[in-house]
Amino acid sequence: MMTYLVNVGQQGTRGNYVWYIEGTREKILVDAGGTVESYLRVMGTQPKEIQTLDSGLSRLGLSFGDIDLIILTHLHFDHVAQASRFPNARFLIQKSELEFAENPHPSVAWVYCKEFFSGLNFEVINGDTKICEEVSVISTPGHSPGGQSVSIKTAQGIAIISGLCTIRDNFEPPSPITLPVITPGIHTNVIDAYDSVLRIKQMANIVIPLHDPEYRQKTSIP
């Protein structure tokens, strides 16, 4: 599901994460996470190695009410299922993603669950946008019509959280593939999706694929 026409039929492991950006004035998360129930219902898969959002936040000394801003990469269920738990957050979303999600095409409607995002305190933007000195979002459509990725200045260069559902193979294709990137397996536009993954790869010193399993054991990047 992650790599278009590659790794077909192979079993894979994927992670589903909420990211916290350290060092900004406002307290910012990227995405609001899935739930076990939503994975079972939408994908028919049983998540393992569950770290709750509650325990992740408390390890950082944070509560749900402390979060000021949540940048939503897109509105698929696994990135927004717990959004309503944040009472004080604004939710940054691309205009084209919100419009599509409110009336999704039948071919991909199964990944959009309106009960997870209707009524949120949205801050709607259109295209590349600077959020603060350290953080910007860039438009990366293709996996979904209005997907956005998050660019963060770090001590080791620009880190970009891919807003397209991807693993490391999308950015570093295994041999014998000679293309620079692999298109995400789920997409609404195959060419945009390829170009967006390539854009991230070219802009970033540190690429963070949205679903790569390597982050299960990590507590910070870089």
Which of residues 78 and 212 has its CB atom nearest to Zn ion in the complex?
Answer: 78
Which of residues 154 and 163 has its CB atom nearest to Zn ion in the complex?
Answer: 163
Least gap, CB of 156 to Zn ion (angstroms):
26
Which of residues 65 and 182 has its CB atom nearest to Zn ion in the complex?
Answer: 182
* Closest of 20, 47, 106, 117 to residue 77, by C-alpha: 117
Stretch that binds Zn ion, among 46-54, 89-97, 132-140, 165-173 (CB under 5 A): 165-173
Interaction between residue 212 and Zn ion (CB under 5 A): no
| Whole-Å CA distances, 68 to 75, 121, 123, 159, 161 | 19, 11, 12, 21, 19
Least gap, CB of 74 to Zn ion (angstroms):
8
Footprint of Zn ion on 65-124 (CB under 5 A): 78
Least gap, CB of 194 to Zn ion (angstroms):
17
Give me 99's structure tokens: 């419009």
SS3 77: helix
Which of residues 56 and 62 has its CB atom nearest to Zn ion in the complex?
Answer: 56
Backbone φ, ψ for residue 150 (5° rounding): -115, 120
Q: Which residues of 159-192 are buried (b: 16+ CB within 10 A; e: fewer)?
A: bbbbbbbbbbbbbebeeeeeeebbbbbbbbeeeb
Interaction between residue 165 and Zn ion (CB under 5 A): yes
The span from the CA of 116 to the CA of 79, in Å, is 10
Least gap, CB of 211 to Zn ion (angstroms):
6
Interaction between residue 169 and Zn ion (CB under 5 A): no
Q: Which residues bind Zn ion (CB under 5 A)?
A: 78, 165
